[in-house]
Structure 1
Amino acid sequence: MKTILVLGASGKVGRLLRAVWSAETPQGLRVIYQFRDAAPDAADCIRFAPGDPAEDLGTIDAVLSLWGVTSGDARALAANTDLGLEAMRIARATGADRVLHASSIAVYAPSDAPLGEDDPVGAPNAYGAAKADMEIAVRSETGPRSCCLRIGSVAGAESLAASVDAYQAAEVKTPLTLHRFASGHGPARSYIAPSDLARAIEALALRPLTDLPEAVNIGASRPVTMDALLHAAGIPFDWQPAPDAAREIAVLNTECLHRLAPLPRDDGDPDHIVRDWLHWRARA
């Protein structure tokens, strides 16, 4: 039995993973969840802040670093590097042999083709640049192996989910709006359902170090359009012509992940993604 420490468990992705793993205990893994402030009164949760003595955590086999900063100026976003290095410090102090760092599709230079791990890094925005800087910094560290998870969209933890939540909570239901491109569809993205993300992390935490890449794209085996997700969720929406600057396609080549992790064949099906998202979102 190996122990994995989840840093940033209070975030949206962390809460979804805790919901999945609380209901479906991962085989071969014991999970500990880190909270910076008040931690839930549970045996699997700890209170720990960056800079605290890591030796107090005991022996850890793997670290999942979900904590980070998603908005703000360059100085605020630079904290992503600080937190990545802090995850490495914790791993060294606890004996962990690997750190799985949450990165993003945003590190890549834009392309309409599926983006592979060997494609150029050239983020067009400050958030993507900050995550790319974090990746460079953690790879330069000695000790545990770093694997950067270049995540597309985690269903239930991104902007579309927030819009759906707001619609469902509203007393007066106003249809959502969605950009429509020349293809007749909305934006195409690489989504992954919460339970599939959990299975992917389990596989990466347990694989031999020799199998662990420096970076791996995280998403379903095929992309999905946002209109397909809204149709699957039964949420009404109105089309709005996409502005010239809008990006229709931002998708990942996930062949590497699917060689490493046993994910379901229908992982890119809109009905599967929405069903899984709504199930775990209600429990997170």
Structure 2
Amino acid sequence: MSAAPGLAILGAGGRVGSLLRGSGAVRGASWFSRRGGGGAQAWDLLADTRPPQGLRGAGVMICLVGAAPGAELSEDCRLALAAVRAAAAAGIGHVLIASSIAVYGARGAPWREDAALRPRNAYGRAKVHMEAALLDHAARGGPQICLLRLGNVVGADAISAAIAGGQTITLDRCRDGGSPLRSVIGPVTLARVLLALATRAGSGAGLPPVLNLAQPGPVEMAALCAAAGRDFVWRVGAPPPLPLAALDTGALQMLVPVPAADPAALMAEWRAAGGPV
């Protein structure tokens, strides 16, 4: 499908990275992961601070790396800073770094990029810390940074894990009797958007320092289950969840046209990227 010469992608072995590779929507990029394999070059960011040879010649880096399972969440910040330093050493001018919708909090959705950051959990606080460290680092020079606040990636979230594993899907019931609404994005759409943003950055057009990344229109979690052909049960005794966690995608739409989220299309994208649905 699309070629991506001069693009380096870190985190090829993670859940999101694996989906992007499976989507077939990005060809020609150089992929890197901690252990390597499957066409990705092995590179442990924290153990080897020297950029690998395969990184040289790239003009744009996409960093999808995150803390390993069981590691301290503060590792997110160390990994991201290591990626930016490696990009600078390799002469890469632009770095797109995955952050999360979790930085925002509980009120004010759909959130614009200038919304106050009031994360509700340790994961969100770790991402806020990472973002602040990266923006501070960028203010002192080096590659231009764009922080991508991702919504749920279908195929890489908790519901997808339950679907793929054939497990019982458990949802929290909102006060209105429905299931939570969340901003989501399919893996094929994500790959195409990342490629478009990287191409824009590499052309010199530039990107904002922070950008929400999801498909327009939040999706009800029960609708995703229905699209996958799976039943679910309500979690017993759980407090009502946040009914809406949604990103305002107006800034993204000005740069890259993104289709509205549709549960059936999202599941089709997961299937196309190697998912079981």
Q: Same fold (TM over 0.5)?
A: yes
**Structure 2 residue corresponding to 1:97, chosen from 68, 71, 93:** 93
Which residue in 2 is equivalent to 1:62? 60
Structure 2 residue 5 is matched with structure 1 residue 7: no
Of residues 216, 222, 225, the one that matches 1:230 is 225
The letter for the 1-side match of 2:65 is: W
Shift of 1:196: 0.7
2:19 match: 16
Q: Aligned to 1:207, what secondary structure does the other structure show?
A: helix
Note the 1:199-214 alignment, pairs <5 A: 199-208=192-201, 209-214=204-209
Report the counterpart of residue 155 of structure 1 in structure 2: 154
Aligned equivalents of 1:203, 1:243: Cα separation in 2: 41
For structure 2, the 5+ residue unaligned runs are none
Q: Work out whether residues 101 and 247 of structure 2, in 8 Å CA contact, stay in contact via their aligned partners in 1.
A: yes
Residues 60-209 of structure 1 aligned to structure 2 (within 5 Å): 60-69=58-67, 76-111=72-107, 113-141=109-137, 142-167=141-166, 175-208=168-201, 209=204
> Unaligned 5+ residue runs, structure 1?
none
Q: Deviations over 1:160-216 (max 9, x none)?
A: 00111122xx7xxxx533222233321110010001101110111011455401111
Q: Indicate if the aligned counterparts of 2:183 and 2:214 stay in contact, CA closer than 8 A.
A: yes
Residue number in structure 2 paired with 1:259: 254
* CA distance 1:70–1:127, shift in 2 (3 Å): farther
Kindly indicate whether the alpha-carbon contact (under 8 Å) linking 1:112 and 1:249 is maintained by their aligned counterparts in 2. Answer: no
Structure-2-length-normalised TM-score: 0.88
Q: Measure the CA separation in 2 of the matches of 1:113 and 1:7.
A: 30
Taking a change above 3 Å as real, the CA distance of residues 117 and 70 of structure 1, as seen in their structure-2 partners, is farther
Write the distance in 1 (CA, Å) between the matches of 2:64 and 2:77: 12
- CA contact 2:20–2:26 (8 Å) conserved in 1: no
**Distance between the aligned counterparts of 1:105 and 1:129, measured in 2?**
11
Alignment deviations for residues 203-237 of structure 1 (CA, whole Å, 9 cap, x no partner): 11011455401111111110001101111111012
Structure 1 contact 181–241 (Cα < 8 Å) conserved: no
* Residue 35 of structure 2, aligned match among 28, 34, 37: 37
Measured in 1, the distance between the counterparts of 2:109 and 2:237 equals 19
Deviation at 1:239, TM superposition (A): 3.3
| Alignment pair present for 1:53 and 2:46 | no
Alpha-carbon distance between aligned partners in 1 of 2:26 and 2:81, rounded to the nearest angstrom: 29
Number of positions where the alignment pairs a residue of Structure 1 with one of Structure 2: 265
The answer to whether the 8 Å contact 1:178/1:237 transfers is yes
Kept in 2: contact 1:108–1:123 (CA 8 A): yes
Separation (CA, whole Å) in 1 of partners of 2:130 and 2:111: 19
Q: Deviations over 1:134-164 (max 9, x none)?
A: 1111112221111011011000001000111
RMSD: 2.1
Secondary structure of the 1:217 match is strand
**Which residue identity lines up with residue 53 of structure 1 in the other structure?**
R
Q: What is the SS of the residue equivalent to 2:172?
A: strand
CA spacing shift, 1:242–1:261, aligned 2, 3 Å? farther
Structure 1 residue corresponding to 2:210, chosen from 208, 215, 218 = 215
Percent of aligned pairs sharing the same letter: 35
TM-score (norm 1): 0.86
Per-residue CA deviations over 1:98-118 (Å, capped at 9, x if unaligned) read: 111110011113215201100
Instruction: Please tell me whether the aligned partners of residues 49 and 82 of structure 2 are also in contact (alpha carbons under 8 angstroms).
Output: no
